[in-house]
Amino acid sequence: MNQNPCIIALDVDSVEQARALVRRLGGAAPFYKVGMELYAAAGMEFVRELVGQGKQVFLDMKFYDIGETVKRAVAQVARCGVRFLTVHGSGAVMRAAVEGKGGAPLGLLAVTVLTSFDRNDLADLGYPCAVSDLVALRVRKAVEAGIDGIVCSPLEAASVRALAGPGTILVTPGVRSAGAGKGDQKRVATPAEAIRAGANYLVIGRQVTRAEDPAGEMARILEEIRAGA
């Protein structure tokens, strides 16, 4: 297991709030996720600022476009020292992303099927299949395309691990300590359960970012993982 497998989701709407959180967490959190909201507010400039402070950055942009555009956008992100970037798990998008990354030390993560989608949403898109079948197909395609990792629910992690093999990085959001508020998450697992199911990294947002003492909460989560709770 990584020494600290937690990636803190900076789901805030201003660069000031993001900076304040990173400052409060200090050495307790080396890895942050910047999603669409903060990216829209603060852009690549803030991503570069984090990288410049020695933080690892997961840029959660879920790229989806024609191959040439994806390839060129991924090449730009790769130049900024970002550690992980998400793209949608469609074959052409993933192949273009791998091309754009070239030899850069950027981990490309595929989003297979959004966890908010159910069978009806897939039918609406013209895919008459079960969510689990599309997830499995896209995991296989991701491995074939040379993608580095998969974002999945901790409840899917064991089956995705079985399909993707030991070399694929699994990153799981939807993680909560027992007793912590779930917020709008419906299907959650504890940090230790997610690690046991095969996750390499856990995305943790509100449990840490909205805690009275974010660094203390982070330390408690690491202790829980160590204890296998």
Indicate the residue among 35 and 89 with the shorter CB distance to ligand C5P.
35
Kindly state whether residue 156 participates in binding ligand C5P, applying the rule CB under 6 A.
no
Radius of gyration of the chain from Cα atoms? 17
Kindly state whether residue 173 participates in binding ligand C5P, applying the rule CB under 6 A.
yes
Q: Choose one: 38-46, 71-79, 90-98, 199-207; the region binding ligand C5P (CB under 6 A).
A: 199-207
**Among the listed residues 185, 196, 215, 222, the single contact to ligand C5P using CB under 6 A:** 185
Distance CA 11, CA 199 (A): 21
Q: Choose one: 23-31, 99-107, 132-140, 203-211; the region binding ligand C5P (CB under 6 A).
A: 203-211
Is the distance from CB of 164 to CB of 150 less than 8 angstroms? yes
- Closest distance to ligand C5P from the beta carbon of 160 (Å): 13
Kindly state whether residue 203 participates in binding ligand C5P, applying the rule CB under 6 A.
yes
Kindly state whether residue 204 participates in binding ligand C5P, applying the rule CB under 6 A.
yes
> At how many degrees (to 10) do helices 15-25 and 214-227 cross?
50
Q: Choose one: 50-58, 90-98, 155-163, 201-209; the region binding ligand C5P (CB under 6 A).
A: 201-209
> Which residues between 74 and 133 bind ligand C5P (CB under 6 A)?
115
Kindly state whether residue 24 participates in binding ligand C5P, applying the rule CB under 6 A.
no
Token digits of residue 47: 């991503």
Report the alpha-carbon angle 54-173-79, nearest 5: 35
- Residues that are catalytic: 62
Q: Choose one: 63-71, 99-107, 200-208, 212-220; the region binding ligand C5P (CB under 6 A).
A: 200-208
Type of residue at 73:
A
Token digits of residue 192: 């230790």
- Closest distance to ligand C5P from the beta carbon of 166 (Å): 23
Residue the block writes with tokens 């897939």? 122
Distance CA 49, CA 70 (A): 24
Distance CA 187, CA 202 (A): 14
Is the distance from CB of 85 to CB of 59 less than 8 angstroms? yes
Which residues contribute to the site for ligand C5P (CB under 6 A)? Answer: 9, 11, 35, 115, 151, 173-174, 183, 185, 203-207
